[in-house]
Amino acid sequence: MTGPETTTGPGRRPAAPPGPWALLSGAVKGVAKKYSQDRSVALPVAQGRAVVLAVADGHGSAAHFRSDLGAYWAVEEFTACAAAFAREAARVGADAAGWPALREEARRLPQRVAHLWHERAVYHDTNSPAHGVRAQPAADRTGRVDRPDVPDLAAYGSTLIGAVLTEHTLFCWQLGDGDIVLVDGGGIPHTPLSSGPDMGDETDSLCEPEPWRKMRAHWQPFTGGAPPCVLLSTDGLSKSFADHQGFLDFATGLGERAAGQGVAAVQSQLPDWLARAAKYSGDDTTLVGAIAVPEQTQ
């Protein structure tokens, strides 16, 4: 399954939406890494009345040597599912009577994305086993196999953060590390899916059994208008700061620069900012965002 061409790697820029949002996208590979295991998307939907954002961080270590593929599939499958959801969210708009059905659909989305990701990983591993040809499980005298062979998908492990944003609602989901930050009209950052400081390098992953059960979700209706700045980033960005407050200050500053200098100016500087961050974290560093465009400039 594929959605519109949206997946971004280092140096790719998002398509310009025709609606009330301007989109940001930037990615740099980690210092001394051969290639990046991050993938991302920033996609306008429903003639720009909704936005789909996502970042995925392949685990990248020797045990996860195909995680660039895992991250790519995570973003593709999320985008395909979330774009349809976003079109419905845009259609419902401010009609609160339609929100319960949206919330129910939002609860089902993680499992659907995980199943699609799992199917692609199993198909790939079947045709090109990550750990060589697997031994066939033993059959009894009747030829029945009690336990089907279960592939080890750790080689493809990836995190996933995704969001669907309209002028009236925000839905977001997160599996594993990374950050989503909302900067409100007063310049105050909010992290609705934060689970606190990371403990070591272990993180939840799509390669685990039933990963949707660990996916955190958040739904938020906007009674006073959508936040002017919504940012999603892989953990390479937040880990480049000495403390979490420094990362939040960066998010606030980015929103202020977008409002004062324009989104195009921020987009042009973003690769340099991310490259500087990657020097400190050493990790692949990716950020996507949606910035509300003032009505008079639309």
In angstroms, the CA 25 to CA 271 distance is 9
In angstroms, the CA 28 to CA 142 distance is 56
pLDDT at 19: 60
For the chain, the 3-state helix, strand and coil shares in percent, each to the nearest 5, are 40, 20, 40
Report residue 146 as tokens. 């009690």
What's the length of the chain? 298
**Amino acid identity, residue 258?**
A
In this prediction, residues 172-180 reach a mean pLDDT of 97
pLDDT at 7 over 90: no
In this prediction, residues 158-166 reach a mean pLDDT of 97
Report residue 208 as tokens. 């685990």
pLDDT-above-90 percentage for the chain: 72
The rounded mean pLDDT for the chain is: 88
In this prediction, residues 270-288 reach a mean pLDDT of 94
Contacts of 116 (CB under 8 A, 6+ apart): 1, 73, 77, 80, 81
Q: How confident is the model at residue 4 (pLDDT cuts 50, 70, 90)?
A: very low
As separate numbers, helices (DSSP H) first and strands (DSSP E) second, the chain gives: 5, 10
Which of 202 and 239 is assigned the larger pLDDT?
Answer: 239
pLDDT at 42: 97
Which of 214 and 34 is assigned the larger pLDDT?
Answer: 214
pLDDT at 6: 38
Which range, of 133-147, 256-270, 271-285, averages the lowest pLDDT? 133-147
Q: Is 92 exposed, middle or buried (0-12, 13-18, 19+ CB in 10 A)?
A: middle
Q: How confident is the model at residue 11 (pLDDT cuts 50, 70, 90)?
A: very low
pLDDT at 34: 87
- Packing angle between helix 67-92 and helix 99-127, nearest 10 degrees? 160
Contacts of 260 (CB under 8 A, 6+ apart): none
pLDDT at 10: 45
Q: Are the beta carbons of 125 and 50 closer than 8 angstroms? A: no
- Considering the entire predicted model, what is its pTM? 0.88
Q: Which one, of 197, 212, 105, lies nearest residue 160 by Cα?
A: 212
Report residue 190 as tokens. 């909010």
CA dihedral 104, 184, 234, 166 (to 10 degrees): 40
Which of 134 and 103 is assigned the larger pLDDT?
Answer: 103
In this prediction, residues 70-74 reach a mean pLDDT of 98
Sheet holding 179-183, edge to edge: 21-28, 285-292, 229-233, 179-183, 189-190
In this prediction, residues 102-128 reach a mean pLDDT of 96
Chain position carrying tokens 């997946």: 7
pLDDT at 144: 64
pLDDT at 2 over 70: no
Containing 44, the helix (H) or strand (E) segment is: strand 38-45
pLDDT tens digits along 218-248: 999 998 888 899 999 999 999 999 999 999 9
Q: Are the beta carbons of 42 and 290 closer than 8 angstroms? A: yes
Which segments of 11-66 does DSSP mark as H helices, in order?
Answer: none
Which of 155 and 145 is assigned the larger pLDDT?
Answer: 155
